[in-house]
Amino acid sequence: MAHIEEILAVERIDNDIYRGGSFPSHLRRTFGGQVAGQALVSATRTVDPAFAVHSLHGYFLRPGKPDKPAVYLVDRIRDGRSFVTRRVTGVQDGEAIFSMSASFHVTTDHGIEHQDRMPPAPDPDTLPDRAESATDTQRMLLAEWDTFDIRIVDQSDTVKIPGLAAQQRVWFRYRTPLPDDHLLHVCTLAYMSDMTLLGSSAVVHPDEETQNASLDHAMWFLRPFRTDDWLLYDQTSPSAGGGRSLTQGRIFDRSGRMVAAVTQEGLTRSGVPGSAASIMRQAE
């Protein structure tokens, strides 16, 4: 797999128009995190460094083709004193595959502070690397993200919060040190946030074969963090029905600081055995 710096490196081809790279893949459609990450990088290229991204809202409109680059068209919606808004459309073959709005906030504002407490979870270094026990088919798919260390907490070791329908906790990090560039870490987390989240809807349906795909994705960046250090992804799925599942995630660093929050709805349509998503879920 290419390094994350290569994946997120977009090329400026005209004013507010950027092109992301394409990379060899075993997947039939471009990984959603790649499209979201490249779109976010494109948006930030048009914003003054005095503003930092604090949220994004994206829709996956069509499956991307992994063997083709995507072009990102940035629309400068608003430049205010405290907030900046950008809209980005990802295009392949003349058709929109992704649409995103991103909001940026000045870094000098101050106000009230509070956060949820980080839930209990085993130390990530005590959990097995799932690649070590994967089948050959699973290893082929895990190779898509071999630069990421992803360790899913076993359901038997997950301390459940009463009243929640489905719960999953995942430790993840980038395997090698990254530069001290907060923007790179933000865009890397946008990429990573699409990993395993939809799988939280499957933990209470372990024997169900489903066709899975991300439909829309919202994310809020709350505090500084590093993606080359362990982050705990506390995931829940409050509802599933009609072939779709709603999932939510809170992301904490090892010290217990809540650094990001995610909400995603995904396709979880029954009756499509043997999909890549199903195989990946078995690897989890």
**151 and 210 co-located in one domain:** yes
pLDDT tens figures, 84-101: 999 999 999 999 999 999
Q: Give the active site residue among 38, 168, 194, 253.
A: 194
163 and 283 share one domain: yes
- Whether 264 is a known active-site residue: answer yes
Number of domains forming the structure of the chain: 2
Answer yes or no: pTM beyond 0.85: yes
Assess if residue 77 is contained within a domain: yes
pLDDT per residue over 261-278, tens digit each?
999 999 999 876 544 444
The whole-angstrom separation of Cα 95 and Cα 34 is 17
Domain boundary among 107, 139, 167: 107
CATH number at 84 reads: 3.10.129.10
- Domain with 40, as residue range(s), is 1-107
- 113: in domain: no
Same domain, 273 and 203: yes
Q: How confident is the model at residue 283 (pLDDT cuts 50, 70, 90)?
A: very low
Would residue 275 count as lying in a domain? yes
98 and 195 part of one domain: no
193 is catalytic: no
**Which pairs from 122-131 meet CB under 8 Å and 24+ separation?**
122/153, 122/157, 124/151, 124/171, 124/173, 124/230, 124/232, 127/151, 127/152, 127/153, 127/171, 130/283, 130/284
Q: Are residues 64 and 103 in the same domain?
A: yes
Candidates 103, 193, 214, 237; catalytic one: 214
Q: What pLDDT is attached to residue 134?
A: 61
102/129 same-domain check: no
Mean pLDDT of 144-156: 89
Helix ranges restricted to H, 101-253 = 136-142, 182-192
235 flagged as catalytic: no
79, part of any domain:
yes
Report which residue type is found at 237.
S
| Final residue in a domain of this structure, among 79, 107, 135 | 107
Q: Is residue 250 one of the residues assigned to a domain?
A: yes
Domain end (from 49, 76, 107):
107
Asked whether residue 116 is assigned to any structural domain, the reply reads no
Is residue 112 in a domain?
no
Q: For residue 119, tell me if it sits in a domain.
A: no
Q: Are residues 192 and 70 in the same domain?
A: no
Question: Measured between alpha carbons, how far is 237 from 132 in angstroms, rounded to an integer?
Answer: 28
